[in-house]
Amino acid sequence: MNTLLTDGHWQALGEVGEFYRLPGFAETTPPGRVRFGLMADPQYADADPDMRHLRYYRHSLRKLAAAITDLNQSPLDFVATLGDLVDRQWSSYGDILPLYRRLRHPHVTVMGNHDADTLSRYLAGRQPPLGLPKHYFHFLVNGYRFIVIDGNDISLYCNQANGDDRQAAQRMLAQLTADGKLQAQSWNGALGQAQLQWLEKTLQEAQTRRETVIVFGHYPVAPVNTHNLWNDEIVTALLCRYQVRAYFGGHQHSGGYQRIDGTDFITLKGMVDGAEQTPYAIVELQGSALTLHGFGPEVSRRL
């Protein structure tokens, strides 16, 4: 497992560090079955709505509160937020933290691009400056292997304390732009080589143990769109090669779905979008059968 949070990060982040702490899981019964909640892109900010994209930032507090209240009523092994807890302001973490503390289930945080930007700017202002932490790890629940990847690993959100990661991101984005790739956008990112090696090693171990694998990320990898991970093709091929059961992402607020070689790629809708809509989901896995119960505008699926 890997969070790469130094003592300096813990001290600097304070209570916000709760979001980036590995949750503890106890084996529950029956084995071979798991149920978890999913939310994506609350993207809260104390800001007026963006009417062009229909993003109602302040409304996310009550939407998030309603979703957490409902999820607390269900027997779940954990809940995951697939990134972008906040939109832009460091103070926004203080507003959403009390809501997440009401959650009765273990919580898994995926770092989104808006989270990365907010954290990176805050950490860059410390003395000495601290780099954006890498946030990828894996955990086991009832025989299922869950892997969280970090698409901000190589991105423009990295700051001067991240070594040459930002320069590597600039080079990658320039090449993608020259190649005419849709995801050649400044708001996306990529997995670095070390993380790709870690991911393949983790998938190899899970395959050896015959574990069913679910992967969480903020950036979609399929189908192709402007919000995909920069190196989406590499990651998609890797997940399919090791027969990952499903990949869940956010970031593309309209949602999405594609099945490739037995792997389901599911993008959840963004909670911040719309004045009243509150999308979230409960996923149940029994063997290889996957059922997604969508709430609000989120699409229900049997896969």
Domain presence at residue 257: yes
Residue 216 has pLDDT above 60, yes or no: yes
Q: pLDDT category, 6, cuts 50, 70, 90?
A: confident
**Tokens linked to 293:** 């119960």
Q: Note down the domain range covering 74.
A: 7-302
Q: How far apart are the first and last CA of the chain?
A: 29
Percent of the chain with pLDDT over 90: 93
Contacts (Cβ under 8 Å, ≥6 apart) of 266: 246, 247, 248, 249, 256, 257, 292, 301
Domain presence at residue 2: no
Task: List C-alpha distances in Å: 220 to 50, 117, 234, 256.
Answer: 23, 18, 13, 9
Residue 94 has pLDDT above 90, yes or no: yes
Domain presence at residue 29: yes
Arithmetic mean of pLDDT, 70-80: 97
Domain presence at residue 1: no
- Predicted confidence at residue 1, as pLDDT, reads 42
- Predicted confidence at residue 26, as pLDDT, reads 67
CA 85 distance to own-chain centroid: 10
Torsion 57-187-41-53 (CA) sign: positive
The pTM score is 0.97
Specify the CATH number for the domain of residue 202: 3.60.21.10
Percent of the chain with pLDDT over 70: 97
| 142-166 pLDDT, tens digit each | 999 999 999 999 999 999 999 999 9
- Predicted confidence at residue 2, as pLDDT, reads 45
Residue 11 has pLDDT above 60, yes or no: yes
Domain presence at residue 283: yes
- Predicted confidence at residue 30, as pLDDT, reads 62
Domain count for the chain, please give it. 1
**Crossing angle for the helix pair 92-101 and 60-71, nearest 10 degrees?**
20
- Predicted confidence at residue 229, as pLDDT, reads 98
| 46-74 pLDDT, tens digit each | 999 999 999 999 999 999 999 999 999 99
Residue 34's DSSP bridge partners are 285
Domain presence at residue 238: yes
Residue 281's DSSP bridge partners are 38, 294
- Predicted confidence at residue 27, as pLDDT, reads 61
Domain presence at residue 269: yes
DSSP string computed for 223-249: S--TTS-TTHHHHHHHHHHTT-SEEEE
**Crossing angle for the helix pair 193-208 and 232-241, nearest 10 degrees?**
10
Q: pLDDT category, 256, cuts 50, 70, 90?
A: very high
